[in-house]
Amino acid sequence: MKTAIATVSISGDLREKLAAIASAGYTGVEIFENDFLAFDGGAREVGRMVRDHGLQISLYQPFRDFEGMPEPQRSRTFDRVERKFDIMADLGTDLMLVCSNVSPVSLGGIDRAAADFRELGERAQQRGLKIGYEALAWGRHVNDHRDAWEVVRRADHPAVGVILDSFHTLARGIDPETIRSIPGDKIAFIQLADAPKIDMDLLYWSRHFRNMPGEGDLDVTAFMRAVMATGYDGVISLEIFNDQFRGASPRSIAVDGYRSLVNLMDRVRRLEPGIAVDLPDLPSRVHVAGVEFVEFAANETEAEELGAMFAAMGFERAGRHVSKDVTLWKQGSINLVVNTEREGFAHAAYLVHGTSVCDIGLKVENAQATLERARALKAEPFEQAAGPGELKIPAIRGVGNGVMHFLDETSELANVWAIEFRPVASEEIPAPGVGLTRIDHVAQTMNYEEMLTWTLFYTSIFDTRRTPMVDIVDPGGLVRSQAIEGADGALRITLNGAENRKTLAGRFMAESFGSSVQHLAFATQDIFATAERLAANGFQPLDISPNYYDDLEARFGLDPEFTDCLRAANILYDRDEAGEYFQLYSPNYGEGFFFEIVERRGGYDGYGASNAPVRIAAQKRSLRPKGLPKP
Ligand SMILES: O=C(O)c1ccc(O)c(O)c1
Ligand SMILES: [Mg+2]
């Protein structure tokens, strides 16, 4: 598969861009004119630099306002194009992108444009070059790939083809199926971009909000299926204008782009089995059957405090690791692991982040195949020498450089708890459970800028989808929240993007030095019974404002007795057409980490977003430094 990315998609100067693009694994690069103009070396030097990185220049772009010009502009335009041909010769590239004319002086007419392209093709051919014509969605006369193709068809010149850019086609709502009738050898180049559905001016949308295929809402898969059906076998390139990406890490954006291409082409191949896609085989997206364990890194003192909290929540100290300072806590199918080792990954995580979640174990059908797919998608494998009696469990790096392990039922990994842990012979009276059954969701907090990266990470490796983004109002600013979930709800991960340090999420990130799991939500089948047993264990839930309950009763028309039950137990409530949701929160552990207990009734599939501001305000109150008067 020949892949490329336009230099405009990546931040930094041209040197940094090329280094990032090369290391991510692309074969080519589109040189965007501005990147060349801003560079302090000549075209030959740029060409050499690109080739030194093992890359090719797939295309030079854009040449603007070419077709349909009246004289004297027309002659000047042809002079201008010759200058660009000189640059292309020095760069060492043979394809120029001409985008449709936006000039108010330009004249319409398919035949006029076709005649201009025939002449341009003639000139290009004399110099061993080729031309690709792209319809900008806001082009003055040509703004639809069908018209661009008609111009190219009538130009009827071997050096002139059409360039299709998924953004321009899909943003205008043009049916991508119309691409299937274009002969593949008349498609000069393919540019891909996705974008979130936002109702705004096409040009502004295109220049600021594009993102990687799979990160937005456009049907780039349908677009690419149609392209591949034409027999096209040229370069597949990303052209992403995005304000956020312009300031992000060049390497991370380059890797995201590569991941998006592999994921997209893998999808296309599965949907169009009759079409050859030149991509190494990789296992299909992985179904996750649940979160098998969550591991905390801690020191001994904090391990005791954390353990006390687990015990109050009904967890039982169920095992000690055969060779490490690691304790297993269990309730229902929930496994919490506390690692107080003085070396290794968990210790390193503890030193950087303090007591925090350092590892998440996912239950999959085939752990090895999961690792294989993740690697093909450029995830970073994680390995640590196995200690005595330990299994080698496939793993990768995840959010905040944490680790994600994969466990399955078909290998010895199925018996990991029996193999690696010994029951504790303790005098402790086993804690009676409080009815927690499984991990409902894991909430990870990150900088807002990282959200697309991790959304793509989860949705490309695992068989999951993302829910629409919701805004959560924290008194200190906005937090954006998006869930990644499997169709059966067995895996639910919520990603929270903080935009500043004044929000609870932002403060948590500042205090724990990076992105991390901020809360774990456990499921119960009877939240009122669970609340009672928690109270009996001395568990003090997060105190919710009485104002909330008054509003709740009015909003949902609740029976006052029912509202009283909720109020008495500090349980939050939500409801939609499908069902009901109940939430109960623990106090904060440290600087903003917490637990949640939830009950889903009926088909409720959300996360109680409307309750979040009330919960956050309560958490902020409880985090206030002791000694300050309560307002
Ligand atoms: O926004 C633009 O002008 C522009 C230029 C070149 C392209 O290939 C494109 O898709 C958009
Ligand atoms: Mg384009």
Q: Does residue 613 have a cis peptide bond before it, meaning omega lies within 30 degrees of 0?
A: no
Tokens of 539: 């568990």
Pocket of ligand 1 (CB under 6 A): 61-62, 97, 99, 134, 136, 165, 191, 206-207, 239
Cβ neighbours of residue 538 under 8 Å, at least 6 residues apart?
312
In the structure, what pLDDT confidence band is assigned to residue 596 with cuts at 50, 70 and 90?
A: very high
| The pLDDT of residue 328 is above 50 | yes
Confidence band, pLDDT 50/70/90 cuts, at residue 630: very low
Cα(176)–Cα(359) distance, rounded to whole angstroms? Answer: 42
- Using CA atoms, how far apart are residues 162 and 514, in angstroms rounded to an integer? 46
- Tens of pLDDT, residue by residue over 268-278, are 999 999 998 99
61 is in an annotated binding site: no
The alpha carbon of 6 and the centre of ligand 2 are apart by a number of angstroms equal to 9
From the list 274, 322, 320, 259, the residue with the least C-alpha distance to 3 is: 259
Residue 592: the pLDDT is 83
Contacts of 120 (CB under 8 A, 6+ apart): 66, 78, 81, 98, 131, 160
Res. 348: pLDDT tops 50: yes
Half-sphere exposure of 80 (CA within 13 A, CB side): 13
Which class for 609: exposed (0-12), middle (13-18), buried (19 or more C-beta within 10 A)? middle
pLDDT of 631: 44
pLDDT score, position 515: 86
Return the percentage of the chain with pLDDT > 70, whole number: 98
How does DSSP assign 430-456, residue by residue? PPPP-SEEEEEEEEEEEEGGGHHHHHH
The average confidence (pLDDT) of the chain is 95
Q: Is 441 annotated as a binding residue?
A: yes
Omega before 541 cis (within 30°)? no
Paired sense of beta strands 436-447 and 492-498, if any: parallel
The tens digit of pLDDT for each residue in 440-454 reads 999 999 999 999 999
What spacing in Å lies between the alpha carbon of 35 and ligand 1's midpoint? 14
Mean pLDDT computed over 356-366? 97
Dihedrals phi, psi of 220, to nearest 5 degrees: -65, -30
State the pLDDT at residue 625.
61
ipTM score of complex: 0.99
Judge whether 165 is annotated as a binding position.
yes
* For the CA of 207, the nearest atom of ligand 1: 1
Q: DSSP 3-state assignment of 569?
A: helix
Question: Do the Cβ atoms of 597 and 441 come closer than 8 Å?
Answer: no
| Per-residue model confidence as pLDDT tens digits over 156-185 | 999 999 999 999 999 999 999 999 999 999
Q: Is 519 known to sit in a ligand binding site?
A: yes
Whether 374 shows a pLDDT value over 50: the answer reads yes
| Ligand 1 closest atom vs CA 206 | 1
Are 356 and 508 spatial neighbours (Cβ–Cβ below 8 Å)? no
- pLDDT confidence of residue 590: 83
DSSP-derived 3-state class of residue 32: strand
Q: Is the pLDDT of residue 431 over 80?
A: no
**Nearest residue by C-alpha to atom 9 in ligand 1:** 136
Encode pLDDT of 51-97 as tens digits.
Answer: 999 999 999 999 999 999 999 999 999 999 999 999 999 999 999 99
Whether the per-residue pLDDT at 624 is higher than 50: the answer is yes
> What's at 392, amino acid-wise?
K
Distance CA 370, CA 285 (A): 8
What number is the average pLDDT over the span 619-626?
77
Mean pLDDT of 326-343: 97
* Domains of the chain in sequence order: 3-271 (3.20.20.150), 288-422 (3.10.180.10), 436-622 (3.10.180.10)
Range with the poorest average pLDDT among 231-235, 411-415, 458-462, 479-483: 411-415
Q: How confident is the model at residue 433 (pLDDT cuts 50, 70, 90)?
A: very high
Q: Convert the pLDDT of each residue in 464-475 to its tens digit.
A: 999 999 999 998
pLDDT digits 0-9 by tens, 99-156? 999 999 999 999 999 999 999 999 999 999 999 999 999 999 999 999 999 999 999 9
Q: How far apart are CA 582 and CA 571, in angstroms?
A: 6
In whole angstroms, what is the distance from residue 377 CA to residue 398 CA?
13
How far apart are alpha carbons 293 and 297 in whole angstroms? 13
Please list the residues that pair with 602 across neighbouring strands: 579
pTM above 0.90, yes or no: yes
